[in-house]
Each structure stands twice: as C-alpha cells, then as structure tokens.
Structure 1
Amino acid sequence: MILPLFLLLVFTLHAEVVEKRGFVIKDEHGVFYLSPMPNVKSCCVKKLPEKIELVGDFNVSCGFSAVTLKGTYVPDSDGGKLFRDEEALGDTFPQE
C-alpha cells in the first residue's frame, strides 16, 4: 500500500519530540500558538494556516522575539496541530 507523502509525514511526526521555532501568539480565548509571524492580533489568529497550538506550560511570553520550543507534535482529530511541552529552549533572537 502506498500512502500519500502528507500522510507519511503526519505518521512520522506523530508523538515525536521535535524542536520548533517561531513566535508565541495568543487568540481572543487565551489559547497560545506558535506562529511563523510575530504580533498577530488576537482576532486574526484563527486565520493563520501555519499556527501550532501550544498545550502545557512553556513559560515563554508573546512578543517580537523568536523562540525555539521543544515538545511532542500531536495532530488532533480535527486536523489541527498540537505541540505538547517538553521544555522551552529560550529566546533565540533578538536579545535586547
């Protein structure tokens, strides 16, 4: 049986500990996400196609500084992407 490449990638990443880099943003319901773009308005978060919901306590704040997070990538049943915390690797740029 041959699976499409996308399915193979999902199966490969499922429950794997990975590092992701991006910006922490929060929607109007207080849910935190890792985004490729900084400072997204809370009302616009749901429109971002590449956001990953953060589950757990990463102990990082929203802002213009990119962060690298380490956690478990878990696709949910609705096709969303969850990222469960392992540890926050800290701000990676820029430091003020």
Structure 2
Amino acid sequence: MSTDITGAAPLTAWARLGAGDRRGAAELAARETARASEAGERLAEADARIAHAAALTALGHVTEAHRAFDTAELLSAGLPYPAGRELVNRIRP
C-alpha cells in the first residue's frame, strides 16, 4: 500500500492496529519512521514513532516498545508538539 499523502502513514498504521493487523501496523509505522527521520520531518517522525511503539506493545514486544515510546517522547519534547508527549504518556503501558 502506498502512502503518498504526508501524514497518512501513521494514521493508516493506527487503522491497521485497530483492525487487528498488529504486524502490518508495526511494519508500516517503522517504514514511515525511517522515511520521516531521513527527510528531517520531525513531527511526522514523532507521530510514526508513537504508532510504531503502540504496535510493538500490541505485538507483545514490551522492551522494544518502551524504548520506542522513550524515543518518541524525547523527540516530541524537543518540538513544539505537546500533543505528542501527551499521547505517549496516555498510551504507554
């Protein structure tokens, strides 16, 4: 599935997660994290990292999920993006 619309990949990952496709959500969010990081799109990267961490949690990869949440929270804290930090704190296990 192509996600050419900026910001669509994390939303699609959340939709996949909600539909029970945990692995698909994790893979999509990981790809978007890498793409956004390489492009320097920090806000998109934060959103993708949060979705990835949630998918990792759903997959039962607790240690990896905690690291992903920590990274997402640090990235969000360095941006004018308090909603990112709030989301991390709300969904972190």
| TM-score bracket, shorter-length normalisation | under 0.3
Structure showing greater radius of gyration is 1
TM-score normalised according to structure 1 size: 0.24
Which protein has the bigger helix share? 2
Which protein has the bigger strand share? 1
TM-score normalised according to structure 2 size: 0.24
